[in-house]
Structure 1
Amino acid sequence: MPTFNILMLPGDGIGVEVMAEVQTLIDWFNHQGIARFEVEQDLVGGSAYDAYGEAISEAAMDLAQASDAVMFGAVGGPKWDAVPYEKRPEAGLLRLRKDLGLFANLRPAICYGALADASALKRELVEGLDILIVRELTGGVYFGEPKEIVDLGNGQKRAVDTQVYQTFEIERIVRVACELARTRRKKVTSSDKKNVMKSGVLWDEVARQVHSREYSDITYEHMLADNCGMQLVRQPKQFDVIVTDNLFGDMLSDVAAMLTGSLGMLPSASLGAPDEKTGRRKSMYEPVHGSAPDITGQGIANPIATIASFGMALRYSFGMGEWADKLDQAIAKVLDQGLRTRDIMQSGMREVSTTEMGTAIRQELAASA
């Protein structure tokens, strides 16, 4: 029986509630003898700041480095709005991405048939939607230096964020996108703002070189990021894999999220480079949604994105693709049965709690075992 080490970082708000459903799912896998998952848990975000005065402790970072995968919930909330910028809850997430070298963020946007009418777009535009946004995660404007606010005197200040990319950073994320496209519909759309940004000029130049040199078997197209956002709501099924930088990937993936009906439906995976000896990648899996402090503690949060994130861990970190498929199918079956959390509630469906949704998915998974 294979054994895997998981670090669980529920974080703040509903992160704690939805992660509890993943823990119960892990317990089921262990009880069935399908695999052995050894789980450790620690704090991140606002809860870590309250306990340690930092958004993540050194001990938690050590556990993350030693794990086979990190399961991350959500961080932040109004309670911590006044903490120092470098200690804000999101700083824990950024440090995990940077220190683990998680440069490739995979954000699938899949519209289940049962939820096609929950999307803000017409059914015919989103039914059957299956796109993947590959976002560069450790470079760009979120990490570039200088990053500062300078007091100029006379009541004036100047804020600076630096957008910076090197050739190797672009090459490796484009390779990830192209490799994934080979397993899908063999089309990659690269998105930047080369019309107004020098980093976009380099991004497009390098992306085209990688494609022509290594991946001429797949279709490649370029699209400016603002047009890509428009096209996502105009004709989303034209896309297969979209590869883009940190800033535009953040925005475009949230646009894509609403095509599926709710942010509560979208998982994500963040992957590092393969280890030269073992081939294993550092990895972290998290829902796209935030901590949602307005609904915390009410038992109404949608756990599907977090459960589906664990499904991505089964696929990309644990070599259990067959079980990842079964988990995806279990989610689809539960939705077909008309079960809905409040964020995706529709007329004629049955509203269920966070725990009830998690239980229903586990029961469907067990039925396929």
Structure 2
Amino acid sequence: MKKLLVLPGDGIGPEIVAEAMKVIDHLKAAGGLELEIEQGLVGGSAYDAAGTPLPDATLEKARAADAILLGAVGGPKWEPLEIALRPEKGLLGLRSGLGLFANLRPAILYPQLAEASSLKPEVVAGLDIMIVRELTGGIYFGQPRGVRELDNGEREGFNTLVYAESEIRRIARVAFDIAAKRAGRVCSVDKANVLECTELWREVVTAEAASRPDIELSHMYVDNAAMQLVRAPKQFDVIVTTNMFGDILSDEAAMLTGSIGMLPSASLNEQGQGMYEPIHGSAPDIAGQNIANPLATILSVAMMLRFSLDRSDLADTIEAAVGRVLDQGLRTADIMQDGKRRVGTAEMGDAVVAALN
């Protein structure tokens, strides 16, 4: 039996995870989903309970699980803590501790929400991009790093951008494999005209593509890619890029869809184990008010079923149910439109479960 670790986290995390669990419980009862479920602490809630954002017990449970469902971490309550104790370190610790090197960030525009995008509907209608972000290397993890005092007394901050060939090769392979099931096009994004590290990135990705005649590979500098995502986003199929560039571009792509409350994500390791979470963060300003959008978390469950639990059939069922709920005109505050019916977090979760029937 497959094992799932549920980490509600902070802010709106517990609320949106509760709605996702309604979907999982329904599928267990009606869809034949066999799943052993455990809960754990991570982030600020873990710090409050155990004095660390990633308790050893949570990491141990995560390593034993086939998949992890995460709500969100962070909030102003914990910002005064030193960096090593902040909630986000729990998330980074899970990524590095499990070797979750491949972050999949889809940017899909549901046709019912075309008017919610900040771009003209004809520019974004039918948008379906997959951004593959390298997640455990690059400038976020590179050493040396820190803040030092120079001989003249001035302070200097420094971080190091580092990628080994093997790290580049494996993320390229993930992107190529995903593209092979889509339109077969990969755009590798770098800054090879300025950064030697990403010059190597381009060389390795190009070499890896030589053995994949089924893939059409192109390259783009990150500044141009940011512009093209706004100018003509539908030119992209799969984008593969570094940790930092992927962090920025995936959030930009998310806003093309009208709301980050609609978008799931997956982070995978080489064994297919994955952590699944909405991209929107903990939103502490609306926590506890029953107004958060749970659809990104519910769609993260669909990704989990597809990539880690070998139940693509149930993933398709969830995605279709979300489409039916949107067809019914139900909207949370972040995607509200004229003529639609505003619902809260719990009512939206209930509506998805009803649509599964």
* TM-score tier (shorter): over 0.9
Consecutive unaligned residues of structure 2, counting only runs of 5 or more, are none
- 1:290 aligned partner: 281
- 2:163 aligned partner: 165
Are 1:321 and 2:312 an aligned pair? Answer: yes
- 1:46 aligned partner: 44
Alignment: residue pair count: 357
Aligned-partner Cα distance in 1 for 2:24–2:127 = 29
Aligned-partner Cα distance in 1 for 2:202–2:46 = 40
- 2:225 aligned partner: 228
After superposition, residues 5-154 of structure 1 pair within 5 angstroms as 5-32=3-30, 34-152=32-150
Are 1:188 and 2:179 an aligned pair? Answer: no
Are 1:349 and 2:340 an aligned pair? Answer: yes
Aligned-partner Cα distance in 2 for 1:299–1:205 = 49
Are 1:334 and 2:325 an aligned pair? Answer: yes
Which of 245, 268, 277 is 2:265 aligned to?
A: 268
User: Per-residue deviation at 1:17?
Assistant: 0.5
1:167-217 per-residue CA deviation (whole Å, 9 max, x = no partner) reads 0000000000001101000100000111111111000000000001x2122
What SS does the aligned partner of 1:131 have? strand
RMSD: 1.0
Are 1:15 and 1:73, in contact at CA under 8 Å, matched by a contact in 2?
A: yes
Are 1:101 and 1:282, in contact at CA under 8 Å, matched by a contact in 2?
A: no
Matched AA of 2:217: Y
Displaced runs of 4+ in structure 1, greater than 4 A?
A: none
User: Per-residue deviation at 1:22?
Assistant: 1.2
Matched AA of 2:209: H
Matched AA of 1:106: L
Matched AA of 2:296: A
1:79-108 per-residue CA deviation (whole Å, 9 max, x = no partner) reads 011101111100000010001011111000
* TM-score normalised by length of structure 2: 0.98
1:44-70 per-residue CA deviation (whole Å, 9 max, x = no partner) reads 111111111111100000000000101
Matched AA of 1:171: R
Aligned-partner Cα distance in 1 for 2:176–2:34 = 32
User: Per-residue deviation at 1:153?
Assistant: 6.2
Aligned-partner Cα distance in 2 for 1:155–1:253 = 39
* TM-score normalised by length of structure 1: 0.95
Are 1:315 and 1:324, in contact at CA under 8 Å, matched by a contact in 2?
A: yes
User: Per-residue deviation at 1:252?
Assistant: 0.3
User: Per-residue deviation at 1:155?
Assistant: 5.1
- 1:277 aligned partner: none
Matched AA of 1:66: A
User: Per-residue deviation at 1:151?
Assistant: 2.4
Overall identity of the aligned pairs, in %: 56
User: Per-residue deviation at 1:36?
Assistant: 1.8
After superposition, residues 304-315 of structure 1 pair within 5 angstroms as 304-315=295-306
What SS does the aligned partner of 1:273 have? coil
Aligned-partner Cα distance in 2 for 1:285–1:33 = 20
What SS does the aligned partner of 2:6 have? strand
Matched AA of 1:292: A
Aligned-partner Cα distance in 2 for 1:33–1:341 = 27
- 1:365 aligned partner: 356
Aligned-partner Cα distance in 2 for 1:26–1:323 = 10
Aligned-partner Cα distance in 2 for 1:35–1:322 = 11
Aligned-partner Cα distance in 2 for 1:338–1:29 = 24
Matched AA of 2:251: D
Consecutive unaligned residues of structure 1, counting only runs of 5 or more, are 275-280
Matched AA of 1:114: Q
Matched AA of 1:130: D
